[in-house]
Amino acid sequence: MNDELQRNILTGVISFAVGYLLKNIEPSARLIWWSTHAFHYNLPNPPNPNVGIYTRSITIQNIGRKIAENIEVTHQSPAGFFKLEPAYNYTTAQTPTGEHIINVPSLAPKNFFTVEFISFQPMPALLYVKSKEGMAQWVKIQPQRIWPRWYVITLQALILVGLAFSVYWLIRAFNAINALF
C-alpha cells in the first residue's frame, strides 16, 4: 500500500473518530425525578368519617449541561390542586383520553422544581415525566444526615491517604515482581 493511500485512510478514520466523539460529548439536557412523599390524611368529620386528603410531592431536576425544554408531567387524570415550588411558568392541558399534562417551558442546567399535589380523591397514577430531549429517569432517594464540614473534610483526607498508601504498595509490589524477572 502506498503512503498516500495510508494517509487518506488514516485521515478518514481520525475524522470519523473526532466527529463521533464531538457528537457524544456535546452538552445535553438530562432530567431526573423523584418523589419525596405521598400521604393520606383521614379527617375527623363526624357526619362522614371517610373524608380524606391525599398529598404527593415530586421533584424534577436537570442534571445535564444544556437547558431542558418542554418538560411534561403527565398523570392519568387531573390530580386535584397543585403548586410548583419555586414558582415556574407552566401551562396545563388534557388529552382527548383524559390524561392531565403540566408543561414547563424550560429548566436550566442544575435547576429543579417540586410539584406539590393535594386532593380529596386518591392521587391518579403518574404516567411519565419527559422533556423534548427524552424521558426523565426516576431515581431512589433517602433522607440523609448532613455532617459538619470538618467531619467531611477529615473523611476525605483519610480516603486520600488510604488511596495514596494503596498506590504506593502496588508500585512496590510491581517493582518487586520486575526485579525477579
Per residue in 139-161, pLDDT tens? 998 888 999 999 999 999 999 99
One domain for residues 35 and 120: yes
Chain segment 53-62, per-residue pLDDT in tens: 899 999 999 9
How far apart, in whole angstroms, are the C-alpha atoms of residue 85 and residue 70? 18
pTM: 0.70
Work out the percent of the chain whose per-residue pLDDT is above 90: 57
Its domain, for residue 154, covers: 149-173
State the alpha helices, DSSP H only, in 56-148.
Answer: none
Q: Which three cell numbers stand for residue 42?
A: 383521614
The mean pLDDT values, 10 residues at a time, for the chain of 181 residues are 77 85 81 90 71 90 93 91 93 92 95 93 91 93 91 96 93 87 76
pLDDT at 102: 95
The CATH number of whichever domain residue 41 belongs to comes to: 2.60.40
| DSSP-derived 3-state class of residue 10 | helix
**Per the structure, how many domains does the chain have?**
2
One domain for residues 45 and 117: yes
Place of cell 392521587: 123
